Structure 1
Amino acid sequence: MFGLQKGRYRARLAGTDADLRAAQRLRYVAFAGDSAQDDSAAIDADSFDDRCSHVLVEEVASGRLVCCFRILPLAHGGEITQSYSAQYYELSPLADFEGPIVEMGRFCIHPEAQDPDILRIAWAALTRYVDEEEVKLLFGCASFKGTDAGAYLDAFAMLKERHLGPKRWLPRVKAPNVFRFAARLKRKPDARIAMRRMPPLLKSYLLMGGWVSDHAVVDDHMNTLHVFTGVEVGAIPPARKRLMRAAAQ
């Protein structure tokens, strides 16, 4: 299902406790930033890890883990309250979504790994899975580093102008601390600045026709601002879908 090798990298499912711990360690290194050096044994772990499948992207030659993410398959929208995202967003509008849905979370790339092919093989592996399992919706939390919304005003203004979710699916506020960018921002976004400040994973979602919530959650624990992001597989632009499927072969 996730067994895919392209050039220098391969994607596979974690199969052992050691695999999972390696992913949790990489997550800590990626999310904790400079403080990751303070504790060489620290990991990022939560109660959802045991319920998810974990995808590892490794260098073929060295076996070094350079990227990981986890997926939580759900049978339909009625199960969305079981997701990680449901801790932060009131997702009842999506309860009527029909067909298999998958939450993608804890996506990270090692800070020292800059090769764009890493992101490409991660998406190629996910594309293969989506096709095989006939997934209808991908969703998750797309994160901005830090909790200062002022650093990302053009990015949020662009999300408001071009990428808000359909009203019938739009998540409602649940978290105690949120930035209601769709209601508060009146500015016209500077597209150049907006795209420079947009997280790479969110850019990938948007290229696939993805949409976002109208507010960002201020997550002090993870030191991030995040928006709920959904990608309706049937709405992915045909040209983009062809490119993704070609990469998954």
Structure 2
Amino acid sequence: MKPLSKGRYTVRVAQSGADRAAALTLRGLCFGAAGGVADAFDAAATQVIVENVQTCAIVATFRMALLDGVQLPQSYAAQFYDLSALTAYPGSMLELGRFCIDPALSDPDVLRIAWAALTAYVDEAGIKLLFGCSSFQGTQAAPYLDAFALLKARHLAPARWSPQIKAEHVFDYALELHDKPDLKQANAAMPPLLRTYLMMGGWVSDHAVIDHQMNTLHVFTGLEIGSISPARKTLLRALLS
């Protein structure tokens, strides 16, 4: 990924031990102690940071790993979801993980520049599918029932690619949800990253994994690059200028 600067922010690959340590510190702040510890997936991934060039503070971070169908079972998401169907996906895939933004910030430009940098990389590398685990804070489903109901009603994965249940502890939409979500409540509870995926045509698993180690509920999220509308692609690429 090439560095990208816009306004007060720069997106770039972590280059030094200090960069990676700062990214882990931010992950720990956002995901708890488990998120702040490097794991085997970090070793196989590229760590990306968003830096405030005025303060040199790391304000967002994520890791990404380029995969194909053969490598998919070694992905982070494959620990929690049966991705057998996706091993036949025709094209290269990019797994995004540990995406987090400093919770003290409320600047939408941070997420915008991160997506702009990803757009440039996707174009350059010929990525066909972005995927990862979109996290809801905590392990109780009650605060997110409307959000999950909206996912069930409008945003489930195509049957041919649908992730199946693998984790021991899950929240199954089909068994536990009503069909008429309160849209205002649903959108308010939706994580910003997931909301962005959905606006571009992304889809999710039909269940959420209850991850006690990370203290999250997460859903498998996929975004087929070919399904993004031309108007949305134009907006994303406009961020690069």
* TM-score strictly above 0.5: yes
Give 3-state SS (helix, strand or coil) of 1:63's partner. Answer: coil
Give the superposition deviation at 1:8: 0.7
1:196 aligns with 2:188: yes
TM-score, normalising length from structure 1? 0.94
Cα root mean square deviation, aligned: 1.2
Whether the 8 Å contact between 1:180 and 1:215 is mirrored in structure 2 is: yes
What letter corresponds to residue 60 of structure 2 in structure 1? C
Deviation at 1:194, TM superposition (A): 0.3
8 A contact 1:2–1:55 mirrored in 2: no
Shift of 1:2: 3.0
Q: CA deviation at 1:22?
A: 1.1
Give how far 1:108 is off: 0.4
Q: Moved runs in structure 1, 4+ residues, more than 4 A?
A: none
1:112 to partner: Cα distance? 1.1
Q: Percent identity?
A: 56
2:153–2:179 Cα contact (<8 Å) kept? no
Task: Confirm whether residue 247 of structure 1 aligns to residue 220 of structure 2.
Answer: no
Residues 16-67 of structure 1 show CA distances to partners (whole Å, capped at 9, x for unaligned) of: 22211111111001112xxx7xxxxx93321111110011100111111000
Q: Which residue of 2 aligns with 1:28?
A: 28
Q: Which of 37, 41, 44 is 1:48 aligned to?
A: 41
Q: Is 1:238 the counterpart of 2:230 in the alignment?
A: yes
Task: Return the offset for 1:114.
Answer: 1.4
Equivalent position of 1:97 in the other structure: 89
Residues 2 and 126 of structure 1 are in contact (CA less than 8 Å); yes or no, is this contact kept in structure 2? no
Could you list the runs of 5+ residues in structure 2 that have no partner in the other structure?
none
Given that 2:137 and 2:216 are in contact with CA atoms closer than 8 Å, whether structure 1 keeps it comes out as yes
Amino acid at match of 2:57: R
Shift of 1:113: 1.6
8 Å Cα contact 1:78-1:97 kept in structure 2: no
Match of 1:39 in 2: none
Q: How does 1:39-118 map to 2 (within 5 A)?
A: 43-74=36-67, 76-118=68-110
TM-score, with normalisation over the residues of structure 2? 0.97
Letter in structure 2 aligned against 1:227 = V
* Alignment partner, residue 210 of structure 2: 218
Alpha-carbon distance between aligned partners in 1 of 2:181 and 2:36, rounded to the nearest angstrom = 37
Structure 1 contact 11–121 (Cα < 8 Å) conserved: yes
Q: Deviations over 1:70-122 (max 9, x none)?
A: 00111x22221111000000100001001110000000011112111000001
Partner of 1:168: helix, strand, or coil?
Answer: helix
Q: Distance in 2 between matches of 1:210 and 1:194?
A: 16
Q: Which amino acid is 1:135 matched to? A: I
**4-13 or 182-191: which moved more?**
182-191
C-alpha contact (below 8 Å) 1:157/1:182 kept by paired residues: no
Structure 1's unaligned 5+ residue stretches are: 37-41
Tell me how far 1:245 sits from its aligned partner: 1.0
1:147–1:219 CA contact under 8 A, matched in 2: yes
Q: Residue 60 of structure 2 contacts residue 101 of structure 2 at CA under 8 Å; is this kept in 1?
A: yes
SS at match of 1:78: coil
